[in-house]
A and B are shown apart, each in its own frame.
Chain A
């Protein structure tokens, strides 16, 4: 067991854990940030995607040790208080979610994309968003919603 400082959604937390513990479980079970979802554990589905120092990363294959001291944003930190992130607004406008289980990972993947490329091309949207599985088939709406958010100036 070792102590780690985690900076999540603007808050600091100290946890005392096995350094190998995947971040997804730390977020969900130690910090009670249950918005981040586990889907596969092997970096295939993207349900567990969060932002770390502005990059989309898979929290199921990122250890708590690797995440320490980094700036982490989860789906709970996407909105600015009551103000929805432009992606969330677009998600609502396009009525994207069905079951919703994959959506935190979809949103965080899109958020990181817009951090890096505020006006992504369609090909860039498709390439990036193809990393995240949705079994319910919300793909067409995701594609549209990312584009809608980008056009509105998608960075928060």
Chain B
């Protein structure tokens, strides 16, 4: 989930005559070494994204998971536009863990931006080959043959052939070394509000999510795992569980005790009837107050300077004005609506897995390990996925399911209840941000120190790998800040705990942007400056973030005075190679905070699917607002307190503000859109809350921390 934008690693393989005479065009993303080696035999065994059969069936295989972000529309649009295909007739499939796709994983708002160049090139290459094939057949000049709408046409003679009719000839063509991609004006699909390809099935109830998988002789399973972090199984008695009607078998696996049954309900009831004696492990003293106290006590002298420009100590000491503030955010849960689940079958040394999953390749590796086979013996088919938000980058449930299939000898579907999903997550880490700024007599920020104290996701997953306490990803959005401050220091105290930590939509940007942008608002107040003007003063004037800020401010009519009981706030942040400004209006009555309006301006370079972008911004607002208002995972006795949506309530429809989305659609380098909308939402709302009430809330969530 690193915010990389590394298109230079793309590779491109030629074509080969595929199975059954189909034209199979493949190319590889990533893997440079394999690319270099691909001049030989590999060349004729490429990654298959696109297939065209003689019967004119055009299929695009998408190696990114459809989590609701619309990737099964946007990525095929890139290919189909350059291919000049008939969009309506294209079949779109979710790719399985075909090793020819390289490492498959959906995160980091990467899918569309890393596909942008290579997938369009793949489409263009195929189009040129089809045009060349037609020219050869018709013995005319290739430049006179043009593909459009799924056929190649020779205008002068009026001849035309469907792609399907040309695949035999096209497959024998050499792939052109260089293809020209369409100019912006020539694009027919990219940039258009096409209907999403997955909507019809979703409104008919026909989409098959992970929980909807059914395989022959499948049984349903639940798994009891240690309620405490680091606990282990001592003993269990399954007598009562086995007496529950429908319960077939109880097995001990490396992860816990599994109950297998003829249905999910029986598996749930069977698990309730298990008598289990757990060794609670070493963390039973761990609770939220202790973690918070640890964060507050962290000594900056023990931290790692992740960025250190100029001389921060002198800048702060010599400042005309100093401003300090500390912010704290809690652990929060992803809570996608589809609970964790997985379906697996082991036949001899072959393993098949169906899972709603983001980390496809990692999941397959974990499945292989659990089954005791080689990774190439695992076929993992990602399913349509009922939300992910980063939770399904972790593949714990896949390993658990394969273990159960192995020990029980049965094809099995493992189902996590909502309680399981809430209590056994990988939570967005809690963090504390000690901010310190110095201003000169002109009100210019001369020194900026961001002291971040937080658990490290990477450091907890791989303690050896980050033994030096340096986690670059933890300071995403802090060390990578867009503002130009002559003296800028970001110090990180890695403060790991036993609470599992994971990547949640926009990851550490969620909290680092909150600290940056709320603190800037406090500085503006201290210096008597307008918050937008203060930001513009410290951003490169011709920069992309400043542009979103100017566009949003203009649309909003900033600066403006909110009516009584209301407030306006602003925040901007760049992440995942995109630039976003968000403005919020809140209405406050006592402790009641209602966000009544959100305006967001996004610069992600070219906009592939405008309505998809809007939907992603709406989703980011929903998730960020939900976290801001009341989400908090609390820890007591070494375990998670919350269990279901009654004690971990999510944002509801009546709390969702209208979201207006502006875009700066252009040909600047492309950025992601899945995550960048999230970070500025929280601080914009908190700044609006200050505008309305004069109160700074520096600890989240608002529930319990805003007194009204």
Please name all residues of chain B whose beta carbon is closer than 8 Å to the beta carbon of A133 when the two chains form the complex. 337, 645, 650, 652
The answer to the question of B619 belonging to the interface, with a C-beta cut-off of 8 Å to chain A, is yes
Using A41-B417, A42-B645, A91-B199 as known contacts, say yes or no to A137 and B618 having CB atoms under 8 A apart.
Answer: yes
A102 B653 Cβ-Cβ under 8 A: no
Interface bits B37-55 vs A (CB < 8 Å: 1, else 0): 0000000000000000000
A95 B611 Cβ-Cβ under 8 A: yes
A35 B654 Cβ-Cβ under 8 A: no
- Closest CB-CB distance, B358 to chain A, in whole Å? 12
Interface residues in A25-68 (C-beta closer than 8 Å to B): 25, 28-30, 32-42, 44-45, 47
Other 10 A-B pairs with CB < 8 A, given A100-B386, A101-B387: A30-B263, A36-B205, A38-B264, A75-B204, A97-B198, A99-B336, A100-B202, A126-B653, A131-B652, A138-B619
Closest to B263 in A: A29
Interface size of B in residues (CB-CB distance below 8 Å) = 61
Interface residues in B58-80 (C-beta closer than 8 Å to A): 66-70
B198 A95 Cβ-Cβ under 8 A: no
Using A95-B195, A101-B337, A142-B653 as known contacts, say yes or no to A136 and B387 having CB atoms under 8 A apart.
Answer: yes
* Residue in A18, A32, A47, A75 whose beta carbon sits within 8 Å of that of B337 in the complex: A47
Alpha-carbon separation in the docked complex, A104 to B206 (Å): 10
* Residue in B69, B212, B389 whose beta carbon sits within 8 Å of that of A135 in the complex: B389
Please name all residues of chain A whose beta carbon is closer than 8 Å to the beta carbon of B658 when the two chains form the complex. 140
By size class, the interface of chain A is 35 or more
A101 B338 Cβ-Cβ under 8 A: yes
The answer to the question of B335 belonging to the interface, with a C-beta cut-off of 8 Å to chain A, is yes
A126 B654 Cβ-Cβ under 8 A: yes
Q: Which of B319-327, B493-501, B620-628, B688-696 participates in binding chain A?
A: B620-628
Closest to B336 in A: A135
Interface residues of B (CB under 8 A from A): 66-70, 195-196, 198-209, 211-212, 214, 220, 245-246, 263-265, 335-339, 384-389, 417-418, 611, 615, 618-623, 644-646, 649-654, 656, 658-659
B622 A139 Cβ-Cβ under 8 A: yes
Interface residues in A118-140 (C-beta closer than 8 Å to B): 126-127, 129-140
Using A137-B620, A139-B656 as known contacts, say yes or no to A39 and B339 having CB atoms under 8 A apart.
Answer: yes
- Closest CB-CB distance, A136 to chain B, in whole Å? 5
* Residue in B195, B622, B652 whose beta carbon sits within 8 Å of that of A136 in the complex: B622
B644 A40 Cβ-Cβ under 8 A: yes
The answer to the question of A155 belonging to the interface, with a C-beta cut-off of 8 Å to chain B, is no
Please name all residues of chain B whose beta carbon is closer than 8 Å to the beta carbon of A104 when the two chains form the complex. 205
Please name all residues of chain A whose beta carbon is closer than 8 Å to the beta carbon of B339 when the two chains form the complex. 38-39
Using A35-B206, A39-B337, A129-B653 as known contacts, say yes or no to A100 and B198 having CB atoms under 8 A apart.
Answer: yes
Alpha-carbon separation in the docked complex, A42 to B68 (Å): 25
Using A34-B212, A134-B337 as known contacts, say yes or no to A100 and B207 having CB atoms under 8 A apart.
Answer: yes
Interface bits A78-100 vs B (CB < 8 Å: 1, else 0): 11000010001001100111111
- Closest CB-CB distance, B585 to chain A, in whole Å? 15
A127 B417 Cβ-Cβ under 8 A: no
Interface pairs (24), CB distance under 8 Å = A18-B265, A22-B265, A29-B264, A30-B263, A34-B208, A34-B214, A35-B204, A40-B645, A45-B418, A76-B204, A84-B203, A92-B203, A97-B198, A99-B338, A99-B387, A100-B207, A100-B209, A101-B387, A103-B203, A133-B337, A134-B622, A136-B68, A136-B619, A140-B659
The answer to the question of A112 belonging to the interface, with a C-beta cut-off of 8 Å to chain B, is no
A34 B646 Cβ-Cβ under 8 A: no
Q: Is the interface of B mostly helix, strand, loop or mixed?
A: loop
Please name all residues of chain A whose beta carbon is closer than 8 Å to the beta carbon of B209 when the two chains form the complex. 37, 100-101
* Residue in A39, A88, A131, A139 whose beta carbon sits within 8 Å of that of B204 in the complex: A88
Please name all residues of chain B whose beta carbon is closer than 8 Å to the beta carbon of A42 when the two chains form the complex. 418, 644-646
A97 B199 Cβ-Cβ under 8 A: yes
Using A99-B385, A99-B386 as known contacts, say yes or no to A38 and B335 having CB atoms under 8 A apart.
Answer: no
Alpha-carbon separation in the docked complex, A88 to B204 (Å): 8
* Residue in A18, A88, A100, A129 whose beta carbon sits within 8 Å of that of B68 in the complex: A100
- Closest CB-CB distance, B200 to chain A, in whole Å? 7
Using A18-B245, A29-B264, A101-B338 as known contacts, say yes or no to A44 and B621 having CB atoms under 8 A apart.
Answer: no
- Closest CB-CB distance, A124 to chain B, in whole Å? 12
The answer to the question of A7 belonging to the interface, with a C-beta cut-off of 8 Å to chain B, is no
B618 A45 Cβ-Cβ under 8 A: no
A44 B645 Cβ-Cβ under 8 A: yes
Alpha-carbon separation in the docked complex, A101 to B205 (Å): 9
Alpha-carbon separation in the docked complex, A28 to B263 (Å): 10
- Closest CB-CB distance, B651 to chain A, in whole Å? 8
Alpha-carbon separation in the docked complex, A35 to B202 (Å): 9
- Closest CB-CB distance, A147 to chain B, in whole Å? 13
Interface residues in A1-40 (C-beta closer than 8 Å to B): 1, 18, 21-22, 25, 28-30, 32-40
Please name all residues of chain A whose beta carbon is closer than 8 Å to the beta carbon of B200 when the two chains form the complex. 92
Closest to B208 in A: A34
Closest to B643 in A: A42
- Closest CB-CB distance, A51 to chain B, in whole Å? 13
Please name all residues of chain B whose beta carbon is closer than 8 Å to the beta carbon of A132 when the two chains form the complex. 653
Alpha-carbon separation in the docked complex, A91 to B385 (Å): 19
Alpha-carbon separation in the docked complex, A112 to B506 (Å): 37
Using A37-B337, A37-B386, A42-B645 as known contacts, say yes or no to A99 and B204 having CB atoms under 8 A apart.
Answer: no
Alpha-carbon separation in the docked complex, A91 to B651 (Å): 21
Please name all residues of chain B whose beta carbon is closer than 8 Å to the beta carbon of A40 when the two chains form the complex. 418, 644-645
Using A98-B615, A136-B68 as known contacts, say yes or no to A21 and B265 having CB atoms under 8 A apart.
Answer: yes
Using A100-B198, A135-B337, A135-B623 as known contacts, say yes or no to A130 and B652 having CB atoms under 8 A apart.
Answer: yes
A137 B196 Cβ-Cβ under 8 A: no
B265 A75 Cβ-Cβ under 8 A: no
* Residue in A21, A32, A92 whose beta carbon sits within 8 Å of that of B199 in the complex: A92
Alpha-carbon separation in the docked complex, A143 to B618 (Å): 13
Closest to A79 in B: B204
- Closest CB-CB distance, A36 to chain B, in whole Å? 7
